[in-house]
Amino acid sequence: MSGQEEPDPRDGADAASERTDGGSSSEHGPKGGSTPERTDGGSSIERSGEAYIASADEALRETYEPPMSLPEYVETLFENPGSAAHASKYLLEAIEAAGTRTVVEEGEHTERYRFFDDPHNDGEHAILGNTEVLNALIDDLRSIAARRGKDEKILWLDGPTATGKSELKRCLINGLREYSKTDAGRRYTIEWNVAGAGDSPGMTYGDSPAPDEDDWYPSPVQAHPLSVFPEEVRDRLLEALNDELDDHIPLYLETRLDPFSREAYDYLEEQYRRRGADALFSAVADDQHLRVKNFVVDVGHGIGVLHSEDDGSPKERLVGSWMTGMLQRLDSRGRKNPQAFSYDGVLSQGNGLLTVVEDAAQHADLLQKLLNVPDEGTVKLDKGIGMDIDTQLVIISNPDLEAQLNQHAERQGSDPLKALKRRLDKHEFAYLTNLSLEAELLRRELTNETEIWEADSYDRLEDLMREPVTISVRGPQGTVRDRELAPHAVEAAALYAVATRLDAESLPPGLDLVDKALVYDRGYLQDGDERRYEEEFDFGDPEEGRSGIPVTYTRDVIADLLHDETDRHHAELPVEDVIMPRDVLNAMADGLDAAPVFSGSERTEYENRLVPVKNHVFGRQEDDVVDAIMRDKRVDESTVEEYIEHVYAWVEGEQLTNDRGEEVEPDPLRMKVFEIEHLGRFDEDDYDGADPTEGVREFRAEKVITALNRHAWRNRDDDFRVSDVDPREIPVIETVLGSHDWDDVRRTYEDLDPAQWDDPPSGTETEAVKERTIENMCEMFGYSAASAELTSRHVMGQVSYRWD
C-alpha cells in the first residue's frame, strides 16, 4: 500500500457528547399503524387529527378479533393449527416466518434469519453479526420444540458487553409482538365470567368484584384455551390437529388450567352440578361464562422479562406474591384464593411463550429454582397451589456468571451447581469481526439510523463504509453547527476496533491484521491478478471477538470529537467542521490510557495495531483522489462487459447475437484493442494481425475464463448467463475498472506538481486538475468540498515526497 500515515497534532477530548440524528437519519413514529396520506403528493404533512385516529382504528381492527366461543375456537384451529403451538414451537415459527438472507461473515457465506434484523421495527434493534451463534440457537430451539432430548434445556446467551445480547431480547419482543398481530401468528387465551351462575358476586383481581356478566376477566397467565378440556379429550383433539398440520414438529400441550381459571371452572362446575345439569362441561364452557380471545404478545402478556434491578424474594420474582388483605375478602373455601395472587412474577408473565432473565448474574439465586420448569413444566404459587408453565427459558449474562457457576467446579461430582450447568445450553456472543458490520453498527450508534445494509456486491459495502456522516451538535451558547465525519472516518474507526479483536498469532507470513479483517469481511484477499479465498487460510481461533475495543468506546470517542475545536482554517471552506479519519484514529489511541475497561497489556497491544490501519485508510483515500483525477479516463463498464462476452464466446467456440438479432462471430480486433489499450498487458508483437499468440490465448483462458467459471461455480444456478457476472468478480478485470495509479496520472498530466496542491498558482495545470478533482470527489464519493480539500491535501502532501 502506498503512502505512510503521519501522526497529526490533536487536541484532547473532554467535552460532553450529544447524541443527535445524522443528516440521513429520520424520526420514527409509532409502529403498527398506517400513516395518514399526505394531502399534496408528499410535499406537506397531514394535519388532520381525524385521519390519525382513523389510522389507529384500522391498526387495531387488523390486530384484534371479537371474542369467540370455545367451539368456534376449535373450528378455527383446524384452519390454522399453528396458532395452538406450544411456546418453543411458536417462537420457532415466528423466527422462520420472516425468511432468510445470505450474508458473508468471517469469510464464509451463510444463511441468516431476517427475524434478527428486527424487520417489524424497521431494524431499530437488529442484531448485527453473530449469525453462526444465532443459527446454532435456532437449531437448539428446533430440537427443544420437537422434544428431541433437549426439552429440559435453558438457553443461555453469554458474552461481553456491547455484543448484541440486549438487542436480541428487544428483537425477540418486537418480533413476537408483531408476529402475533398477523393471521398466521394469532395467539389466544381464555376469559371468564361467573356472575349469574350462583351466589358469587363474581371474580376479581383486586378490591372491586364484578357486578354482572358483562365483566370478563382473562386468565392472568395467558392460559391456553385447550387447557379447559379434560386431558383425554384434549389429547384426541391434538392428535386430530397434528394430522392436519403440515410440519415435522407436532403440537404439544400438557398444561392444565391456571389456578385463577381453575377457581372459576371449579365454581361453575359446582354450581351446575348442584342444579343437576346433564351436559356439565357445556354448561361451564358456555359462552356466557367462557370466551376465547386473541391477545397481542408483549412483556407481561406471554413474555416475561426479569431485569437486573428487579428485587424481592425468589418466589416474588418468579411467580408473584399474595395480597394479604385480599385473602380475607374473597371466598377461599378454607385455603388461599388464587384470585388474591399478583401473578406479576417473570414466569407468570412469560407463561405461554418466553421468559427472559436479563443480567442473570444478578439473579443467580433463582437459576437453581428454575430447574423444574423445563423438566416438569410447573411451579408453585403456594404449597397447595401449583401452576403449569409453558415457556421457553432464556437467560442473558456477561462472563461473570460463568465464574459464579464454576465456583465449586473443583468438587467435581459433589458440585452443587452441576445439575444446573447440565441444563444450561450456552451460546456465546462475541464482538464483531466483520469490518462492514462494525461500520454499520457504529453508524447506527452515532445517528440512530436503522436501515439494514443489504448490498449485492462488496463494492456497494465499500461505498456504504466510505460515506460521510453529518451530525448537528449544540454548542455552549445554544448555537447549532453541523460536524462532518469525513468519508472513511467511520470505516477507519470500525477497522481499528476489529483489528484489536483478531488473533495476530495465526497470521501467515506477509499478512497483517488488516488483511485478515478484509478476508473475513469479503471472503477473499486480492493479490495482483489473483484472489486468495478464505478457505486457503487457516485463521480459525475460537477466542477471536472475546476481547478488543467495544463499539461503545468508539462511539464515545467520536461523540467527544464532535465538540472539540480544530485548528484548521480555509478562506472559503468550513474545514474546521470536518473530522478526518486520522483524527478519529488518533483520538481512539489517545483515549486508551484513560479508559478503565482496558488493562495495561491491552492498551499496549492495541496501540501497536494502529499503524497498519492508518496505512490502509490512507490507501483508500489515495484511491479516491486518483480515481477523481482520472475520472475522464476510466473504462466504461459496458465496454468491459462486452469484452468478457467476446472472450467467453471465443474460448467456447460460440457465436454472439448482435443488436439486429443476427448470429455473429466474436470480434478478434475488439478483443485485441481492449487488451492493449485498457488492460495494458500486451502490444502489437503479441498478435498476428488480430489473431492472438499463445501468450494471449493462455491469458484469456486462465485469467478471464477460469475466473469467470469460478464465479459461476460459487454462484451457480440453472439460469447462469455470462451477462450475470459482475466484472469485478474477475480479478484482472477489476484492476481495469478499479482505478489508475500515479504513473497514469503523471503520464496524463505532465505539468502537475503535487507540491503546489495546497495553493496552486493561477492558470497552472495543477490548479485546473485540483478544481476538477474536488468536484469529482464530491460527485463520485460523497465528499463535501471541505472534506475533499482536506483529503486531497493530505494525499498530495504524501505523494509529493516521491513524485520526482
- Please spell the DSSP secondary structure of 694-707, one letter per residue: HHHHHHIIIIIIHH
Would you say residue 31 has pLDDT above 80? Answer: no
Could you tell me the pLDDT band of residue 725, with boundaries at 50, 70 and 90?
A: low
Cell of 787: 472534506
Q: Model confidence over 743-753: pLDDT tens digits?
A: 888 888 999 99
Q: How far is CA 726 from the centre of its chain?
A: 27
pLDDT surpassing 60 at residue 613: yes
45 pLDDT more than 90? no
pLDDT band for position 589 (cuts 50, 70, 90): very high
Question: Above 80 in pLDDT, residue 100?
Answer: yes
User: What ranges in 523-572 are assigned the alpha helix state H?
Assistant: 551-561
Q: What number is the average pLDDT over the span 449-465?
A: 88
To 5 degrees, how large is the angle CA 369–CA 373–CA 374? Answer: 125
Between 82-96, 451-465, 527-541, 721-735, the lowest mean confidence (pLDDT) is in 721-735
Band of pLDDT at residue 409, cut at 50, 70 and 90: low
Cell of 788: 475533499
User: Who wins on pLDDT, 706 or 86?
Assistant: 86
pLDDT at 718 over 80: no
Query: pLDDT confidence of 693, banded at 50, 70, 90?
Result: very high
CA distance 39 to 44: 7
Give pLDDT tens digits for 621-635: 999 999 999 888 777
Q: To which residue does cell 439510523 refer?
A: 449
CA–CA separation, 745 vs 752, rounded Å? 9
Nearest Cα residue to 791 out of 468, 487, 443: 487
Q: What is the DSSP string of 280-338?
A: HHHHHTSTTTEEEEE---EETBEEEEE-TT--S-HHHHHT--B-HHHHTTS--TTS--G
Spatial distance between the Cα atoms of 728 and 738, rounded to a whole number of angstroms: 8
Q: Is the pLDDT of residue 485 over 70?
A: yes
Q: Does residue 548 register a pLDDT over 70?
A: yes
When mean pLDDT is compared across 7-16, 130-139, 241-250, 479-488, the lowest value belongs to 7-16
Write the pLDDT tens digit of every residue in 247-266.
889 999 988 999 999 999 99
Cell of 801: 515526497
| Better-predicted residue by pLDDT, 782 or 636 | 782
What pLDDT sits at residue 4? Answer: 42
Give the contacts of 230 (CB within 8 A, at least 6 positions apart): 281
Residue 68: DSSP 8-state? B
Residues contacting 707, CB < 8 A, separation 6+: 531, 729, 730, 731, 732, 733
Query: pLDDT tier at 53 (50, 70, 90 boundaries)?
Result: confident
Q: Is 60 exceeded by the pLDDT of residue 615?
A: yes
| C-alpha of 581 from chain center | 25
What's the confidence (pLDDT) of residue 61?
66
**What sign does the CA torsion over 611, 616, 622, 628 have?**
negative
* Mean residue pLDDT across the chain: 84
pLDDT at position 14 is 37
Residue 201 confidence (pLDDT) above 60? no
Highest mean predicted confidence (pLDDT) among 382-386, 721-725, 792-796: 792-796
Do 361 and 400 touch, CB atoms closer than 8 A? yes
* Confidence at residue 555, expressed as pLDDT on a 0 to 100 scale: 96
pLDDT in the model for residue 712: 57
pLDDT at res. 735: 59
pLDDT at 271 over 80: yes
- 49-64 mean pLDDT: 72
Of 15-19, 697-701, 755-759, the least confident:
15-19
User: Quick one: pLDDT band at residue 677, thresholds 50, 70, 90?
Assistant: confident
Which position has the higher pLDDT, 15 or 438? 438
Three-point CA angle 174, 175, 177, nearest 5°: 65
pLDDT of 8 > 50? The answer is: no
Residue 516: alpha-carbon gap to chain centroid: 23
Highest mean pLDDT among 150-164, 352-366, 763-777: 763-777
Selection from 38-42, 143-147, 746-750, 753-757 with the highest mean pLDDT: 753-757
Q: Say whether pLDDT at 482 is over 60.
A: yes
The residue type at 541: D
Confidence of residue 387 (pLDDT cuts 50, 70, 90): very high
Q: Is 387 helix (H, G, I), strand (E, B) or coil?
A: strand
Note the pLDDT of residue 402: 78
Cell numbers for 300, please give them: 407481561
Q: Which residues pair with 110 in a beta bridge?
A: 103
Residue 114 CA to residue 773 CA, distance in Å, equals 41
Residue 620 has pLDDT above 80, yes or no: yes
- DSSP letters, 718-772, are TT--GGGS-GGGSHHHHHHHH---HHHHHHH-TT--GGGTTSPPTTSHHHHHHHH
Give yes or no for residue 43 having a pLDDT over 80.
no
Q: Give the residue-averaged pLDDT of 734-744.
A: 69
Q: What percent of the chain has pLDDT over 90?
A: 51
SS3 track for 466-477? HCCEEEEEECCC
How many residues does this entry show for the chain?
A: 804
* pLDDT-based confidence at residue 431 (cuts at 50, 70, 90): very high
Surface-to-core class of residue 383, CB atoms within 10 Å of its CB (0-12 exposed, 13-18 middle, 19+ buried): exposed
pLDDT digits (tens, 9 = 90+) for 272-281: 999 888 899 9
pLDDT in tens, 300-312: 999 999 998 888 9
Beta carbons of 469 and 198 less than 8 angstroms apart:
no
Rounded distance, CA 458 to CA 716, Å?
A: 18
Q: Indicate the pTM of the whole model.
A: 0.78
**Which secondary structure element, helix H or strand E, spans residue 169, and what is its range?**
helix 165-179
- Distance, CA of 470 to CA of 490 (rounded, Å): 11
Please write the tens of the pLDDT for every residue from 283-330: 999 988 999 999 999 999 999 999 988 889 999 999 999 988 888 777
Among 207-211, 398-402, 764-768, the minimum mean pLDDT is found in: 207-211
Residue 447 has pLDDT above 90, yes or no: yes
**What is the predicted pLDDT for the residue at 10?**
35
* Tens digits of residue pLDDT in 130-144: 999 999 999 999 999
- Say which DSSP state 223 is in: -
Q: Which residues of 411-439 are buried (b: 16+ CB within 10 A; e: fewer)?
A: eeeebebeebeebbbebbbbbbbbbbbbb
Q: Within 13 Å, how many C-alpha atoms sit on residue 27's CB side?
A: 2
Q: Which pLDDT tens digit goes with each residue over 557-576?
A: 999 999 998 889 999 999 99
Number of H helices, E strands in the chain: 31, 22
